[in-house]
Amino acid sequence: MNLFFMGIGGTLMGNLALLAKEAGHEVRGCDGALYPPMSTVLADAGIEALEGFAPEMLTPRPDLIVLGNAGLPRGHAGVEAMLDAGIPFSSGAQWLGETLLPGRHVLAVAGTHGKTTTTAMLTWILQQAGLAPGYLIGGVARDLPRAAELGGGRYFVVEADEYDCSFFDRRSKFVHYHPRTVIINNLEYDHADIFPDLKAIQDQFHLLLRTIPSTGEVIYPEGEDAIEEVLARGCWSTRVPLGAPAGDTTAPWRLVYGPQKGEPPRVLHEGVDLGPLVLTLSGRHNAQNALAAIAAAQHVGVAPAQALEALRAFHGVKRRLEVLYEDEDVVVYDDFAHHPTAIRSTLQGLRERAGGEEIIALIEPRSHTMSLGALRPALAHCTAPADAAHWLSTPRITWDLTGLSQDSITPTTVHQKAESLMEAALRRPAGTKPPRRHIVCMSNGDFQDVPHRLAALCEARGKDAQL
């Protein structure tokens, strides 16, 4: 088929385009803006991706237009041209569910945070176990050749997003996937542009539970009220709770931390010590992600020992504390965190690794939820593990960020221009040699290319210092 992907620059849509081409379809697409890493991934795959929309893009006439949800409402020139021409169309999630997933054991990773990393972990484990899974990850995993592959085995691992499908299908994407193994990492309020409150998100997770067969498994952290409330509304599959690291628990899976700082936690299953969980990634949130992946892998026959061994060689996902530049004085990271919980967890994980070294957080509150100010009260504490925080205010933001300077428990500055924010991040006191500085750039968009611009400045300064 001749497929045209409208919104091809998004992680889901771009990766779907990769799968469509691998399946033998002719693939083209467009988006309002294209930037790395997805623009690079598409170019490397030989997929034509154009910016903006013009009617001639639909010539030759596609057999089907596959639509994303971001920036494609009624009134969009491409949507109106599609409808006027009577071209058949589908959402990306629906196309995946109807075309590529039937007949496969789908393992879906859902939740507010950690989906991309956990999906990549689970895929890596199944690959190392020789199961040749298909997969679709909402990011670029370092250890995998691509962010999406059809695979040759029975299993398919998918990042299961709760965001809606398209302008004509307001349900969450995951209702189209019909999984047998489901991880729910966590559940918080997010996506304020489409969900009025947490209950509306819980309604969608209830629909997800209704699609899982009785022989399926639902893997989730025990004690999270929002998840427990969804389960109480109906769960017809096997529940597999993950125990909290501290406190009494009857959960079959849990992590136990030793007294020594930096000591890896040990994995317990049904009270049996399976050994240490050794990760290259920092933070207890990533350890919990790994525990969920180990439990899901066991559901399809992978022994925990195999999973633990595979995770030793797992190197994470791009834009998750990705190091862009490093020398003895400074490290520059690019990170996707865009929710207060994710910001704090990421910074806390880095603090555990960096010790007393300096951490500077640079944040663009770009997501719909953040730009609308829906989680504003939580912002005063989310940067607590950092030594200083710098926020970038842009026209996209509908509320006044200046109050953060007074409200935050971390020394905080709000900047109107990216250049000012970068200057502040690099400014060092004169005199004695300061501690090593970790600069963490956090945004779910391109952040005006601040992370890479900072890395280039640091590299240039390093070269100048050597002359």
Q: Per-residue confidence at 367, pLDDT binned at 50, 70, 90?
A: confident
| pLDDT at residue 245, as a whole number | 67
Residue 184 backbone phi and psi in degrees, to 5: -115, 100
Query: What is the per-residue pLDDT across 98-155, written as a single tens digit (0 to 9) for each?
Result: 999 999 999 999 998 889 999 999 999 999 999 999 999 987 788 898 889 999 989 9
Q: Look at residue 465 in the predicted model and tell me its pLDDT.
A: 54
- Average pLDDT over every residue of 406-414: 87
Residue 243 pLDDT more than 60? yes
Q: Residue 344 belongs to what H/E stretch?
A: helix 340-354
The one-letter amino acid code at 99 reads T
Q: Give percent above pLDDT 90 in the chain.
A: 61
Alpha helix locations (H) across 131-277? 198-210, 225-232
User: Residue 244: pLDDT above 80?
Assistant: no
Report the distance separating Cα 302 and Cα 296, nearest Å.
9
- Percent of residues, the chain, with pLDDT higher than 70: 97
What ranges make up the beta strands (E) of 57-163? 64-67, 89-91, 105-110, 134-136, 148-149, 155-159
pLDDT score of 23: 96
Flag whether pLDDT at 282 surpasses 70: yes
Please give the average per-residue pLDDT across 251-261, as a whole number: 89
Residue 76's pLDDT band, with cuts at 50, 70 and 90, is: very high
Residue 294: per-residue pLDDT: 98
Instruction: For tokens 């920036």, name the residue.
Output: 71
Whether the pLDDT of residue 42 is over 50: the answer is yes
R_g of the chain computed on alpha carbons: 22
Give, rounded to a whole angstrom, the gap between the first and last alpha carbons of the chain.
58
What pLDDT is recorded for position 365? 84
- Domain-wise residue ranges, the chain: 2-92, 101-311, 322-466
pTM for this prediction: 0.86
What is the predicted pLDDT for the residue at 190?
Answer: 81
Res. 387: pLDDT tops 70: yes
* pLDDT of 431: 66
CATH number of 2-92: 3.40.50.720
Tokens of 343: 């910001």
CB 240 within 8 A of CB 252: yes
What is the token pair recorded at 261?
């700082």
Please answer whether residues 405 and 398 qualify as being in contact, where contact means their C-beta atoms are separated by less than 8 angstroms. no
Whether domain 101-311 has CATH 1.10.10.10? no
Q: Residues 412-447: pLDDT tens digits?
A: 888 999 999 999 989 887 766 788 899 999 898 788
Element holding 127 (H helix, E strand) = helix 115-128
pLDDT of residue 183 exceeding 50: yes
- Between 384 and 193, name the one with better pLDDT: 384
* 467 pLDDT more than 50: no
The pLDDT score that the predictor gives to residue 77 is 96
Q: What is the mean pLDDT of residues 254-281?
A: 90
331 Cβ contact partners less than 8 Å away, ≥ 6 residues apart: 323, 325, 436, 437, 438, 439
Higher pLDDT, 373 or 114: 114
Q: Which residues pair with 388 in a beta bridge?
A: 360
Averaged pLDDT score across all residues of the chain: 90
> Which fold would CATH assign to domain 322-466?
Protein-Tyrosine Phosphatase; Chain A (3.90.190)
